Amino acid sequence: MLTHTFCHLQGIGSRTERRLWDAGIVSWEDLRAASPSDTPMPAGRLRLAQLHLEESITQLAGGNPLHFQRSLPYDQQWRLFADFRHRAVYLDIETTGLGGPWDHITTIALYDGRGISCYVHDDNLLQFREDILRYGLVVTYNGKTFDLPFIRRSLHAPMDHAHIDLRYLLKSLGYRGGLKGCERQLGIHRDELDGVDGLFAVHLWREYQRTGDRRALETLLAYNVLDVVNLESLMVMAYNARLDGTPFREAHRLDAPPRPDLPYRPDEGTMERVRQGLMTTSFR
C-alpha cells in the first residue's frame, strides 16, 4: 500500500491523492513519470511532489519506517504496516500499577510474528533494551500513552521506533472498549484467560512475589504473551479494514496470521486463588 500512497508528499493531501488514483496515477512509478497534463495538479506542485517522491523511494529501499511515520498524516500511518511487517514487533507490558512513583514494570512480552520473547523484573528485564533495537516498527494497544512512556521512564530506553497504536486505529474503525473489548467484537477468544485483565495481572505478580510460586509467574506471562500474539491478528484485521476504503483492497489484502505455539500456560488453581483474593478485598 505504501507505494500507492501520495498523501505523505509535500503538496498532496488525501483529496488530491484520491483524484490522482481516479486519474489512473496509482503508484509511485506512475507519479514519477507523470506530466502535468496527466494529473489534477498544477505543474509546480507536481514537480515538488516528484522531488519528495525520490526521497521516499530511497527511504523505503533503506528500510526506514520512521521517514514515513513522520510524513504521513496520523490517521494514515496504518499504511506502514505491510511494507515494514518484516521489521515489526508487537509489544505489551505488565506493571505493578498505573505509573505512580513506586510502580515498575513486572514483565514485557515481544512477538515478531516468528518468535516470542519475555522479560521479567529482577531477572532479564534489562536485556529488553538491547533486544528492542532489532526492530524498526512497534505495534501496541494504548502504547502511546502507557507502554512506551513507562518503558522510557523505567528502563531509560529511547523507544524512538516508528509506532502504530491500535487503540486509535481500531477506534477509527468504530471499535472501542479496550483491548479485550476489541478482541471480542472481532471474534478473538481468550479461552482460559477470559476475564483476566490488567488489575488481575497486578495481583498475579503480587502472588508470585508473596509465594515464589512459578505457576503465578507463568500465568502472568501466559496473559502477557497472549496480548502480543493477539495484537498481530488485530493489526491485520485493522489493516484490511482500512484497505477496503482504497482501490487496492484486492491486490494487497493480508491473510490472517498463523497462531504460534504459546510457551506458557495459565494455572487454573492460581487464577482461582487470585479471584478469591480479589473478591475478598472488594467486600471489605
Domain range holding 18? Answer: 2-62
Place of cell 515494514: 84
Is residue 143 situated within a structural domain? yes
Whether residue 249 is contained in a domain is answered as yes
Q: Residue 69 falls within a domain, yes or no?
A: no
What is the average per-residue pLDDT within 12-36? 95
Summarised one tens digit per residue, pLDDT across range 58-91 is 999 999 999 999 999 999 999 999 999 999 999 9
**Residue position matching grid coordinates 521516499:** 56
Does residue 175 lie within any of the structural domains? yes
Please state at what angle helix 268-283 crosses helix 198-211, rounded to 10 degrees.
110
* Residue 141 forms part of a structural domain: yes
Q: What is the mean pLDDT of residues 267-272?
A: 95
| Mean pLDDT, residues 100-106 taken together | 90
Strands 88-95 and 137-140: parallel
Give the pLDDT confidence of 159-216 residue by residue, as tens digits: 999 999 999 999 999 999 999 999 999 999 999 999 899 999 999 999 999 999 999 9
30 with 114, same domain? no
Q: What is the CATH number of the domain that holds 88?
A: 3.30.420.10
Percentage of the chain beyond pLDDT 70 is: 99
pLDDT of 283 reads: 41
Checking if the pLDDT of 282 tops 60, the result is no
Res 31: pLDDT: 97
> Residue 281 pLDDT more than 70?
no
Separation CA 228–CA 206 (nearest Å): 22
Phi, psi of 110 (to 5 degrees): -125, 140
Q: What pLDDT does residue 284 have?
A: 41
Cα–Cα dist 229/233, whole Å: 7
Residue 194 in contact with residue 226, Cβ under 8 Å?
Answer: no
Per cent of the chain over pLDDT 90 is: 93
Q: Is 71 inside any structural domain?
A: no
- Does 161 reside within a domain? yes
Contact residues for 80 (Cβ-Cβ < 8 A; gap 6+) = 2, 65, 68, 69, 72, 137, 162, 164
- Separation CA 211–CA 208 (nearest Å): 5
Is 19 exposed, middle or buried, given 0-12, 13-18 or 19+ CB atoms closer than 10 A? Answer: middle
Angle of helix 214-243 relative to helix 198-211, nearest 10 degrees, comes to: 160
pLDDT tens for 215-251 read 999 999 999 999 999 999 999 999 999 999 899 999 9
Domain count, the chain: 2
- 92 and 50 in a single domain? The answer is no
Are both 189 and 132 inside the same structural domain? yes
Do 115 and 17 have their domain in common? no
* Mean pLDDT to the nearest integer, 97-116: 92
* Distance, first Cα to last Cα, the chain: 55
Residue 74, in any domain of the structure? no
- Say if residues 216 and 207 touch (Cβ distance below 8 Å): yes
Q: Clarify whether residues 214 and 100 are in a common domain.
A: yes
Phi, psi of 271 (to 5 degrees): -65, -35
Mean pLDDT over each residue of the chain, to the nearest integer? 95
- State whether 185 and 129 are in the same domain: yes
